[in-house]
Amino acid sequence: MLYLEESMAKWVMSENCIAYMIPSYSTKIVTDLDGLVLQGGSDVSPESYGEKPLKPEWNGDRIRDLYEIALVKEFIRQGKPILGICRGLQLLNVALGGTLYQDIQTQVPNSSVHRNWEIYDAHSHEVVLEPNSLMSSLYPGSKIEKVNSVHHQGIDRLSPSLTVEARSKSDGLIEAVRMKEGPFVYAVQWHPEFHNPDDQTFMDGKILLREFLKNGGKNGN
């Protein structure tokens, strides 16, 4: 089953572009598109990074992983931008050779709560922007930003192809990454499409979206 979250589609299309759900992987489809958004959703399967699930409920979606990993590699090969959201950050790290914590609270001592089912996207925490990072240049004058948090997996071993852009203020877990070389490939652990634009206490996700779109298009527009 393929799906496109309505909130994600509306967020992307708010900047005058078309959100297209990719039905299957093919080089031709990637050639015809300008960029890739990896949206949130089911767990990344531990089998996708060489581990066995610690619990049956953490099996994840191996079929979706293989589909998205193939897309990631082809978009990078063709030099096209990628933006990962929540699961998208985790999938990107795995596609490029990294690993994940299957469950943060189980595997990371003294970690903060990163998912609260009762309040879901209303759950939030602060992230610290890395000095001299792209994110710190996109949000000048800001060292700390407030974001939502609805995940229970997270980056364990970072891919050697990626660099850290932001971390959770409370426990240091990686919250944003960027590919060191090649096309614009960026990912965040939170859901900017869920941020209420009228709530000025949350990070403005449109800034990151515009940076992604700026790097797409046939002529880089």
8 Å CB contact between 178 and 134? yes
For residue 158, the 8-state DSSP code is P
Banded model confidence at residue 101, pLDDT cuts 50, 70, 90: very high
The DSSP annotation for 30-92 comes to HHH-S-EEE---SPPPGGGGT---SSGGG---HHHHHHHHHHHHHHHHTT--EEEETHHHHHH
- Of the chain, the percentage scoring pLDDT greater than 90 comes to 86
List beta partners, residue 210: none
Residue 211 has pLDDT above 60, yes or no: yes
User: How far, in Å, CA of 181 to CA of 30, rounded?
Assistant: 20
Cβ-Cβ contacts under 8 Å for 57 (sequence gap 6 or more): none
8 Å CB contact between 82 and 92? yes
Q: Is 191 a catalytic residue?
A: yes
- Across 46-50, 116-120, 178-182, 199-203, least confident range: 116-120
Check 68, 145, 165, 193 and give the catalytic one. Answer: 193
Residue 176 has pLDDT above 90, yes or no: yes
Check 68, 86, 114, 145 and give the catalytic one. Answer: 86
- Across 7-11, 56-60, 115-119, 127-131, least confident range: 115-119
Structure tokens that stand for 69 in this block: 């990993």
Determine whether 203 is exposed, middle or buried from the number of CB atoms within 10 Å of its CB (0-12, 13-18, 19+). buried
User: How far, in Å, CA of 129 to CA of 138, rounded?
Assistant: 10
CATH of domain 6-214: 3.40.50.880
Q: Is 86 a catalytic residue?
A: yes
Q: Is 17 a catalytic residue?
A: no
Question: 19-44 pLDDT, tens per residue?
Answer: 999 988 999 999 999 999 999 999 99
pTM of the entire predicted model = 0.94
Mean pLDDT of 112-139: 91
User: How far, in Å, CA of 217 to CA of 17, rounded?
Assistant: 10
Cβ-Cβ contacts under 8 Å for 127 (sequence gap 6 or more): 144, 145, 146, 147, 166, 167, 168, 169, 175, 176, 190, 203
Banded model confidence at residue 217, pLDDT cuts 50, 70, 90: low
Residue 219 has pLDDT above 70, yes or no: no
Banded model confidence at residue 5, pLDDT cuts 50, 70, 90: very high
Token pair 């959703």 is at which residue? 41
Check 114, 125, 151, 191 and give the catalytic one. Answer: 191
